[in-house]
Amino acid sequence: MSSSQISPESVPFSDPPPLGYRSEQGRKVYVGLMIAFAIVTVAGPFAIQFFEQFRMQRQIEKGFTIVRSFKPMLSARWGDFLVVATEDQYVGGVGGMSVRGSLVAFSLKDGSSVKLPMEANGDIARPLADSAAVAVLANDQQAHLVTIDALYRVEKIEGGLSVERETQFDMTAIGPGEVESDAMLIRGRPVCRNSTSILSIEGKPVLLLGLDLIDGDLKSYDIELNLPEFMTPADEPPAGNDEEPAMVAPPGENMVVSTNNLHVKTASLGAKVYLVASQDGKTVYRSMEADQFLRPDEPLFDQDPKPNPATSNAEDWEKLDVPADLLPLAILPTPNVTRLVMRDVNGQFYSVYERTAAGWSAEPRLVTRADLEVNADADVFAVPGASEDTIVFVTNDVAHGLRMHSLVNGDLQKPIKLAGWAAQPAVAYYLGIIQWNMIFGFSVLIFIGLVPTILMAMFRTNQLELSDQTVEMASILRRGIARTFDFMIFSIPPYALAGYYIYQMDWSEVIGTFQNGNMVEKELTEWAIWALVVGLGYFSYFLIVFLMYCWVEGTWGTTPGKFLCRIETLRTTLRPCGFFRSILRNAAILIDGFFNYVVGVMLIGLQYKWQRVGDLLADTVVVRTYRPQHNSDEI
């Protein structure tokens, strides 16, 4: 036979192979591969953690939002979208911790969210503005966010959206006033209201509006509109209230200035401006051309105003027949219908009045908080809907989150949830990292079970002599599957019970209880006792399950998972290991589990009897279940 015809199998070993291995060369290769496997398995998670720590530090340097609260009172219709301002608790960056403003957008049709460019970069969502939002305005093409020192614009462009800071200014010199509750677009430019009062000059009432026009820079105006005589304020300056401070007239002048119980709302549509004013149970409404309301040549407030005939006729106001306890919430104009949403002083119900060419509707559409399914802590606002016959109530409360409720032709539709009560972008970001790490961890466990099993099948023999009998050892993969199955069986009941109670719990009441600064010691004690009882209950359950598991394994050598995988735990004498040895080997899993079970896997892979730490301490082995074979003619 030529040398080329000699196969490797025909060459005898110069020495017998090591115990448990197919060959000496194979043993060396196997040990080297197992060491490499251990290094990769241990170093991999550390490398991932280092990388995530680096990413976290980079996020802190750039800054990120911890909590994002939604502000329904600062919302508007932007074409087919609803835009809502947010109040972002911002951390990191140059400014440290601060409150900043941003926008979120949702489809008015199905509530799906629209990512703005500053949120579509894969990082934690960052605020649009560098300071808190005070107003949101929108038309079909553009949405504007107004802050105390800048104007930001979000615009629809081909292929997506664009965001930019359009103008910087300093509104602090004038003060935000009522900007947060009232703003509109005139000639495409934002106009915010910074003050409101009624002047009584020679017994005739005049509505005085202080306006800030944002056009390149900040321009301030005073607009005077004559009111019907029944809106004349009291002869003496009022003491003021919590909503608006009283303005005291200069001494010696025949003028009374009142802001007490005065509520004004404005809106714009195209080239028209709409106003409603309410004071002491009397409500009036009017509309006018935008160029007449704020004329392009109107002088600044510190100059002598020119007469404006369009604002001097008190008869242009319509007196509305509404209950005295209703206050204006929003004006929602459309080309053919103008809707006025009024609220009661306690905010428990909302009345929707409609004005067409025939006049105002005789009876309003009444919508209560119960209809909207919101709690007493909810913020409620109204914006125009996607069609002319629709308005949308935007609500936000702890129990239900941010939702929109469409009122179509007077019929209230099922609410659509847009987001949670308050978003936590940083938490969501890091939960995503944790979730990715969990997926990585499970992948590592599969890798740990699969790779050593393949290597051991290639280089080691699974037939060993124990107590004068030949037994087949259980692979690492089978042992891992069996333990996972046992863990799932015994863990499902308590986790299912916890999930049921978490789902049934009234979280709005729980959160409200802990947010209450007047929480008495009795309530805290009750919560502490409840937590202690639940904790002891779960501890007792898992202790009893653990002892039962050890008793079953020690008595019969098997468990549900081991039975499924056809393996069993025995002493090295191939007899059942007993209750206490089972406790010892299962308690030692705390040591075997170090570094994603690398300690236990490496010992199994290198030990002659395929034993981990628990097996070594308890003198046990895990073998394939022995099934005696019978001939077919045996009974």
pLDDT along the chain (635 residues), means of 10: 46 55 80 84 78 74 75 90 86 69 88 70 63 87 86 78 82 56 83 83 82 84 86 58 44 57 88 90 90 69 51 82 90 92 89 91 89 86 91 89 92 90 64 70 78 86 84 91 90 81 65 56 73 87 92 93 93 92 93 84 87 93 68 36
Q: Please give the pLDDT value at position 222.
A: 83
Q: Please give the pLDDT value at position 564.
A: 92
Rg (CA), the chain: 37
Q: Please give the pLDDT value at position 243.
A: 43
Q: Please give the pLDDT value at position 12.
A: 46
pTM over 0.95: no
290-320 pLDDT per residue, tens: 888 887 665 554 444 455 555 667 788 999 9
Whole-angstrom Cα distance, residue 106 to residue 359? 33
3-class SS at 135? strand
3-class SS at 162? strand
Q: Please give the pLDDT value at position 516.
A: 56
How far is residue 42 CA from its own chain's centroid? 34
Question: Which residue, among 168, 6, 154, 144, has the nearest Cα to 76 in the 3D structure?
Answer: 144
Q: Please give the pLDDT value at position 635.
A: 31
Whole-angstrom Cα distance, residue 611 to residue 624? 14
Domain boundaries, the chain: 17-49+427-509+526-624, 63-164, 169-320, 321-421
C-alpha dist (Å) from residue 15 to 9, 11, 23, 282, 608: 15, 12, 9, 109, 18
Q: Please give the pLDDT value at position 408.
A: 93
Whole-angstrom Cα distance, residue 284 to residue 482? 77
Terminal C-alpha separation, the chain = 52
What b/e sequence results for 401-436 when a residue is b if at least 16 CB atoms lie within 10 Å of its CB, and e otherwise? bbbbbbbeeeeeeebbebbebbbbbbeebbeeeeee
450 burial type by CB count under 10 A (0-12 exposed, 13-18 middle, 19+ buried):
middle
User: Residue 623 is which amino acid?
Assistant: V
